[in-house]
Amino acid sequence: MFSPSMESARDTGGVAGTVLIPMRFVWPYGGRSVYLSGSFTRWSELLPMSPVEGCPTVFQVIYSLTPGYHQYKFFVDGEWRHDDRQPYVPGEYGIVNTVLLATDPNFMPVVTPDITSGSNMDVDNEAFRRVQVRLTDGSLTEILPRISDADVQISRQRIAAFLSMHTAYELLPESGKVVALDVDLPVKQAFHILHEQGIHMAPLWDFCKGQFVGVLSALDFILILRELGNHGSNLTEEELETHTISAWKEGKSYLNRQTNGTAFPRRFVNAGPYDNLKDIALKILQNEVSTVPIIHSSSEDGSFPQLLHLASLSGILKCICRYFRHCTNTLPILQLPISAIPVGTWVPKIGESNRRPLAMLRPSASLASALNLLVQAQVSSIPIVDDSDSLLDIYCRSDITALAKDRAYTHINLDEMTVHQALQLGQDSYQPYELRSQRCQMCLRSDSLHKVMERLANPGIRRLVIVEAGSKRVEGIVSLTDIFKFFLG
């Protein structure tokens, strides 16, 4: 449906009664398929137009209208258009042609002063919301709105400008705590701490160096469990009891050199409180990390650093939403449905071979297959679906810390434990910072980008699973990373 203001125009100036006046609508500019829609069909039906005999580029349709003021547009080859040689008015929702019919047969329509002239038949993409219209054969077709490339660039530039003018200080909460781990802490104890604190990563402090040197994340625990399950591994469960974080990091660097030929360990990514939000967001995207520690030192040599905060895309997005909440009209792209913009990962349609497939698993899949998929596909979560691809749950990297409870990782077989069993194990765990109801957040393909951003800005929500209304069949997934890659490129 179009906006209420547009629909209400159907009755403006209308004359009561049952008089119907046949009106001939003409589109003389060619096309493969041409339809008519307007306030007289409540903008919910497309009327097919037929080519005039002997004039294949001229399309027409006759439709009876009640006396009064009407608005209409043409839908030509999948694009909304207006005819600038017929009366038209610009408005909040684009340009529409108009017709004013009176009961007096001598009445001639009058062009109002608001009507402007144009030079060609522009495509009217920028002002229309998503609409579902009904063809005369009864079938429904979805028409996705589009906006110009210029409006997309304007939206991106305004967001980039906002992020460049604001610093990490704006992310700091009035009160809170940040957990850091000593590199000499045993790995087993470290993951117990992550589980008990309900966090999925923590910065690492090296007492000898007097500085922060890296992070320990849920991905490290996944790699350790896979290494334990590898029969050729040098790491045993007994060694895990005393294996320190620093020893694991050294072993991980060795594995990277053996597997990828990487000669140098990954550098520690961090930022200062005066760094702007755009630079911090780009650090997160370019280094493929979930958070960036904000570290401040009052000394020039960087000694005695203070860990102030863990900056995330969620916090940055919250700043964007708060700033633009009451002026969304300055960002034209925010009102578009997410299905109309290149954001997120979508289930490929039949015949599409150029799209990256969306990773999904059944509840009966082994935990080993889930962990392998998280690592190999480089994703942070996997939708768990039934045989009809309807969403049941979601398995995330951070769920692996649930295996720290009661040292479950010491007596399970990753190939024998199912994803469903692993999720059940985590259901009973105490997660103070992530409510169970937040695990499986969903949205619809028709939801606006603004609505999706508002949802993702909430703490603990890092992605939304796009589902079909009613059936909950998975259609895609959109994450914080997707949103920022779209805005910052």
DSSP string of 216-275?
EEHHHHHHHHHHHH-TT-S--HHHHHH-BHHHHHHHHHHHHHHHH---SPPPPP-B-TTS
Domain ranges of the chain: 21-101, 168-315, 331-482
Residue closest to 293 by CA, chosen among 312, 308, 310: 310
**Rounded to an integer, what distance in angstroms lies between the CA atom of residue 482 and that of residue 489?**
10
How many of the other CB atoms lie within 10 Å of CB of 200?
24
Beta bridge partners of 442: 465
**Rounded to an integer, what distance in angstroms lies between the CA atom of residue 220 and that of residue 227?**
10
Residue closest to 334 by CA, chosen among 349, 346, 317, 348: 317
pLDDT of residue 117: 33
Q: How far is CA 428 from CA 96, 362, 365, 399, 425, in A?
A: 58, 21, 21, 12, 6
Sites in the chain below the pLDDT cut of 70:
1-18, 90-94, 102-147, 228-241, 253-265, 349-356, 406, 426-439
**Rounded to an integer, what distance in angstroms lies between the CA atom of residue 383 and that of residue 390?**
9
CB 30 within 8 A of CB 83: no
CATH number of the structural domain 331-482: 3.10.580.10
Assign domain 168-315 to a CATH class. Answer: alpha beta
Please state the separation of Cα 153 from the chain's center in Å: 18
pLDDT of residue 310: 93
Name the residue with tokens 């910065």.
Answer: 203
Alpha-carbon dihedral sign for residues 257, 261, 265, 270: negative
Q: What CATH superfamily is the domain 21-101?
A: Immunoglobulins (2.60.40.10)
pTM of the prediction? 0.67
**Rounded to an integer, what distance in angstroms lies between the CA atom of residue 398 and that of residue 194?**
9
Domains 21-101 and 168-315 alike in fold:
no
Looking from the CA of 312 toward its CB, the CA atoms found within 13 Å total 19
pLDDT tens-digit profile of 325-380? 877 777 888 888 888 888 988 887 655 555 567 889 999 999 989 988 888 888 88
